[in-house]
Each structure stands twice: as structure tokens, then as C-alpha cells.
Structure 1
Amino acid sequence: MGHRRSGTPGPDIVNGLGGDGSDILVGDGCSGAGRGSGGGGDRLEGGAADDRLIGDSLGSTASGGGRDHLDGGDGAPDVCDGESGTDKATANCEATPDVP
């Protein structure tokens, strides 16, 4: 799995539909230590496998606050976590902590 980082927070579109593997999609900044910051309104779209979609930053020191749209895609149980902010999870997200 490769990593791509734009260096700036903002409205990102992250699509994990290619291939059949399980994806971890993080909307805003994330360092190798699992710390990040940012707060754009991101759209994260998983594929048919087990996906983990994290709207803002990953890790215990996460910060953010964007309005994220999380779509787990077809198939196995996905975890969709918007972190902070007003987030929307579609019916395809089987587990939705922190998302009303």
C-alpha cells in the first residue's frame, strides 16, 4: 500500500474501490506515528472488502472538525469514524462510531 500526502488539509476525495483488498482511508493529515491535523469536508468511499474510513485525523491526538461523507461500499463490515465535526455515514457503514 502506498502513501500520498498533499501537505494541506481540505476537502479531499479518497476512493478505495480499486482491487479487492481491505483499505484504510484517512481524510486529512496523518503522520507515521498516527498523529495528524486538518479539518476539511472529505468524501471517503470504500470498496467491497473490509474498509476502515476515518474522516479527520488518525490517533489519540487527532484533531479536525470537517463535515465528512463516509461510504463503506458493498460487502463486509466496514468501520466509518468521522472523528470530530458533523459527519454523514451512508447505510453501507455497518459500524459508525462518532457518527449520528
Structure 2
Amino acid sequence: MWTKFIEMVPFVTSAVFLLYIFIQMNTISTLREENKKLRTQVAESCQTSLEEEVRLLLKSSSKLDVIKHLRTKKGLSILDAKKLVDSISNS
């Protein structure tokens, strides 16, 4: 009787671990989706605040100075900085 029980222990243990793995995979998938949503929200928020900062800088500085600021302080490429400044100054 005990021998049959002992023989089944590895199978039961494997089944429990497989179930645990599937549960963890589902949790990881859910967390990835939530992470993607949060990254999108943060990116939109940062873009809005960056645009507001550029508007304020354009009131007191030249376009070239604002582009330099975006390059040095925000790490934007020269093309991205110029596009952003041009789009805001034209609107």
C-alpha cells in the first residue's frame, strides 16, 4: 500500500509544479499588459509636460536655444528637438 503511494509522489509533485508554472505564466502575462498600459500613460504624460516646457522656453528664448536645451538636458536628438520646437512654434 505504501509503495504505491510512494510511487505516485513524483507524479503528483510534477503535476503540482506544472499547475504552479501555468499560474505564474498567467500572472506574468497580466503584469506585462498592465506594464504596457502604464508605460503608454507615462509616455503621454511626459510628452505633454515636455511640450509645456518648450512653450515656456520659447516665450523667453530663441528656437536655437530651446533646441540646445532639449539636446543637452532632455537627451533628444537634434532632429527630434527641431521637429518638436517647430511643431509647437507653428501651432
Q: How would you bin the TM-score normalised by the shorter chain?
A: under 0.3
TM-score (norm 1): 0.21
Higher Cα radius of gyration: 2
More helix by share: 2
More strand by share: 1
TM-score (norm 2): 0.22
